Amino acid sequence: MNDQVLGWVRAAKRIAVLTGAGMSAESGVPTFRDAQTGLWAQFDPAQLATEEAFRARPSMVWDWYAFRREMIAQVEPNAGHKALADFARRHPGRMTLITQNVDGLHQRAGSPGVLALHGNIFEDKWLDPPKACCNAAAAAAGSPPYCDRCGNMLRPDVVWFGEALPLRTLAAAEDAARACDLMLVVGTSGVVYPAAGLARTAAGKVVIINPHPTDLDDAADAVLRGTAAQLLPQLMED
């Protein structure tokens, strides 16, 4: 472990952590495209994860997400997820956790106040603005569930292609980046914006944690080559 980076973590009063798909890789969470197996191998996920696809073939898209939910539900948070959650419990209010992942593993590990930029695959929301009759708890069973009065359908609460990130969540993430003394960028390739832009606007030191080169390495004050489960337990042990 890099002693300088350890010193930065211990000295930082405000830490922002940005995580991507590599954060969950050691838990066995399949990447977006790696999840295309069996029946779903014939479909392009980029063509399923859109509002247009859901409106055209709601049952098929809902069933695809149900398949992904089943796959993700079988994995557990890894040592990296747990190290961040443990640090947050020991140092309340000192760290802001921002993730591009929709798998909910940070939340399951116990991290509070996670800023999930791309949503959570295990949560639902109404496809259209809900009317007074739309009660998710009483939605009619179906694939997808729906309001039996107006027909509004529930959809996974994730950001689809062509959709903007949730404004409040993104604003909170931007505030955390601008206010931090240290940003840890963990397991993200740095190619997806606006999330990747957070590292370039961070006010403090930027540390990349990734076993592979990323598009954000040039913005880093230090690069640690390794995985989240390998390095975070050492880095966050204070």
95 phi/psi in degrees, rounded to 5: -125, 140
Q: Is 212 a catalytic residue?
A: no
Q: Which of 226, 229, 185 is nearest to 2 (CA)?
A: 226
**Residue 69 structure tokens:** 């939910």
**Residue-wise burial string across 185-213, b where 16 or more C-beta atoms lie within 10 A, e elsewhere:** bbbbbbeeeebbbbbeebebbbbbbbeee
Q: Within 10 A of 3 (CB to CB), how many other CB atoms are there? A: 7
Q: Which of 81, 91, 118, 212 is catalytic?
A: 118
**Residue 88 structure tokens:** 């947050």
Q: What are the residue numbers of the active site?
A: 118
